[in-house]
Structure 1
Amino acid sequence: MKRTLASSIFLFPILALTMVGCSSSSTSQSGGDDDRPSVAYVTNGVASFWVIAEAGVHQGGKDFDANVDVLMPAEGISDQKRIIEDLITKGTDGIAISPIDPDNQNELINRAAKQAHVITQDSDAPDSDRQCYIGMDNYLAGRMCGDLVTEALPDGGKVAIFIGRLEQDNARRRRQGVIDAILGRSEDPTRFDPPDADIQEGKWHIVGTYTDQFDRAQGKANAEDAMSRHSDLAGMVGLFAYNPPLILEALGQADKLGKIKVIAFDEANETLQGIVDGNVHGTVVQNPFEYGRQSVRILAGLTRGQTLAELEIPENGFLNIPASQIRRDNIDEYWDELKKNLGEE
């Protein structure tokens, strides 16, 4: 099985600006008041998903009177490491991190936690010294996506899965949830099917998982490769924000839009338009706007001396912001709210 990762067509015009001229995107909201907490929001890459989170960070800066920076590593784990080390050197008060490879980043996160308040968001590093995690249960959200697959393909068939990278905790759990739901398995977040596994159970045949390491060209090539290898492919599941738009592009060029069911994750503009047009059955969406806003709320509060309990963080350290399923029947309401959060209305 060819294993590679895809990157997507960017959703909003401002994302293009995010990528220009640097490996990390930094935006500041500074009021010139040194007494305001300084909060940094570090993503795991550059994608439309993070543009929505960025809007939430800036709203949080206004709501909770903090100076905020959003930094998007464009060159993977080494770039993220450099960003975090720079923030430690600068003396940033609070850092919200989406770890790219948590198993190999605990030492870095622990070092940051000695100098600043550190939380994780979107993807967790549960064995680190981070103070809490903001996000959703990616395994359960994956199962929600798997349920959309079974809706779209009631007779089963061949399905290919596309995702950025599997080093991330959220990616592994999300993918496994999809597989388990499709196959009707019991809930078990510890289960792990190898990414190159060819899984055949009952009416389902999951032909494999294609990863791309955030390489957009490779992501599209992955979709083309899956169609080439499996002429009877019934469904394509894109689990990172940029995957579904790339799948749609590949299907369009192959004149297969509507012939292969597309099931998505996240809220890229092309994905939402695909639902409107009937080319995407549905998508599972997170709430990156609130990931950003809540990260600022918590880090600003911790900097000002509040406790996690006072900030209404559960004892398990997990602030759950649940995922939602979006289909044609609720796409308009969801998209209107998204545009409002982005200031597009």
Structure 2
Amino acid sequence: MRRWWKWAVYIGGMSVFAGSASFTVYCAWKVYMYHQPEEKPAIADRKKAYHFVLVPEELDNDYWRLVEKGAKAAAKEMGVRLEYIGPRQANIEEHVKILEKAAASKVDGIMTQGLTEQQFTPIINRIVEKNIPVITIDTDAPTSRRTAYIGTDNYYAGFIAGRALVEDTGGNANVAIITGSFEASHQQLRVKGFQDAAKHEKGIHIIAIEESDITRVQAAEKAYKILKEHPEVNAFYGTSALDAIGIAKVIEQFHRERETYVIGFDTLPETIHYLEKGTIEATVVQEPYEMGYRAVKMMVDIIEGNHVPSINNTETRVIRKQDLPLRPARNYEVRHD
């Protein structure tokens, strides 16, 4: 009888001990889990509902196709939906209408140029009032309510183009400027920066400024007109991606490759071709792929409440024939998939 009582006491004690230990472990586990952050879903799952729209100045422009490639690469990486829609040819009224349609469809974010303060600031502000964030790319609208700008410092780009021309011509040149648009703010800034870089050079004379409407044909026609009216011109500066290409065609037509200096913008395949031949002496390099890629990532940050700087300048520099080939190629080569 005593032996049975002792076994009962022993078993009861062990049960109490085991229960106490289990309770202690359970409490410890609850305390541990309380301090652990909630597990977040994978990026693709968390962001798959985001719908962004990229509206370029000109849909089939090779420069904007590089912006598109960068944006699509980031969209795939982040698991968001991206639409690339815009005017077939540069047209501010059509551009604004496309922005209005994108806002009406209640997308999550819009990326576009801020081509003119007068026309783009009001539409950007109306979009933001609908709680749709806007990022400007390539051309800013600084007085608007856009959240951020990503792209070239266009005044600086024009300034370094001017200093390159001064250096390469020894400070003696009669210069004609062909700009993509008199209205677009980034083109205005590129002209102003160039003028400021050359204004104290006694041997640099700006003879004429013409507009190309951002087309090769118009750039060539204006270059032809300038050389007919001002045969003393021996240097050209083109401020849009297509201007120097049109200028180069006319320079070769006039057989003035050796006596005429040409500096342009961007590195489209035709620009590189003329740079290798020596018809174009120099060009200003931008980073269109990086603009598109970083814009999409910034838009995700904005929607998720993360801080994004209001100004995000990409690299800009002047390159010449000896600087080829350029790397990374993704900023300079257009591959049609």
Which category describes the TM-score, using the shorter chain as reference length? 0.7 to 0.9
For 1:155 and 1:290, locate their aligned partners in 2 and report how far apart those are by CA, in whole Å.
34
Per the alignment, residue 112 of structure 2 pairs with: 97
Normalising to structure 2: TM-score of the pair? 0.80
For 1:61 and 1:342, locate their aligned partners in 2 and report how far apart those are by CA, in whole Å.
19
Contact 2:48 2:79 (C-alpha < 8 Å) held by counterparts: no
1:132, CA displacement in angstroms? 0.9
For 1:215 and 1:94, locate their aligned partners in 2 and report how far apart those are by CA, in whole Å.
30
Say if 1:217 and 1:276 are closer, same or farther in 2 by CA, change over 3 A.
closer
What SS does the aligned partner of 2:53 have? Answer: strand
1:276, CA displacement in angstroms? 1.4
2:70 aligns with one of 44, 56, 66: 56
1:139 aligns with one of 155, 160, 166: 155
For 1:45 and 1:232, locate their aligned partners in 2 and report how far apart those are by CA, in whole Å.
34
Per the alignment, residue 52 of structure 2 pairs with: 39
Per the alignment, residue 76 of structure 1 pairs with: 91
Give identity over the alignment, percent: 25
The answer to whether residue 175 in structure 2 is matched with residue 159 in structure 1 is yes
What SS does the aligned partner of 1:50 have? Answer: helix
Per the alignment, residue 325 of structure 1 pairs with: 318
Contact 1:161 1:209 (C-alpha < 8 Å) held by counterparts: yes
For 2:177 and 2:314, locate their aligned partners in 1 and report how far apart those are by CA, in whole Å.
25
Contact 2:288 2:331 (C-alpha < 8 Å) held by counterparts: no
Structure of greater Rg = 2
2:195 aligns with one of 179, 184, 187: 179
Unaligned runs of 5+ in 2: 1-43
1:177, CA displacement in angstroms? 0.7
Q: What's the CA shift string for 1:4-23, capped at 9, x where partnerless?
A: xxxxxxxxxxxxxxxxxxxx
1:34, CA displacement in angstroms? 8.7
Q: Following superposition of structure 1 onto structure 2, how do residues 1-345 of structure 1 map, counting pairs within 5 Å?
A: 35-46=48-59, 47-73=61-87, 74-115=89-130, 116-184=132-200, 202-303=202-303, 305-307=304-306, 309=307, 313-314=308-309, 317-334=310-327, 336-338=329-331, 342=334
Per the alignment, residue 22 of structure 1 pairs with: none
Per the alignment, residue 23 of structure 2 pairs with: none
Between stretches 118-127 and 43-52, larger displacement belongs to: 43-52
Normalising to structure 1: TM-score of the pair? 0.79
Say if 1:175 and 1:69 are closer, same or farther in 2 by CA, change over 3 A.
same
Contact 2:115 2:140 (C-alpha < 8 Å) held by counterparts: no
Say if 1:343 and 1:246 are closer, same or farther in 2 by CA, change over 3 A.
closer
How many residues are paired up? Answer: 291
1:127, CA displacement in angstroms? 1.0
Contact 2:284 2:319 (C-alpha < 8 Å) held by counterparts: yes
- Greater relative contact order (Cα < 8 A, sep 6+): 1
Say if 1:89 and 1:155 are closer, same or farther in 2 by CA, change over 3 A.
closer
1:36, CA displacement in angstroms? 2.9
What SS does the aligned partner of 2:279 have? Answer: coil
Letter in 2 for 1:107: P
1:274, CA displacement in angstroms? 1.5
1:217, CA displacement in angstroms? 2.8
Say if 1:276 and 1:96 are closer, same or farther in 2 by CA, change over 3 A.
same
1:121, CA displacement in angstroms? 1.1
Q: What's the CA shift string for 1:249-274, capped at 9, x where partnerless?
A: 11122222232111111112111122
1:104, CA displacement in angstroms? 2.4
For 1:343 and 1:225, locate their aligned partners in 2 and report how far apart those are by CA, in whole Å.
34
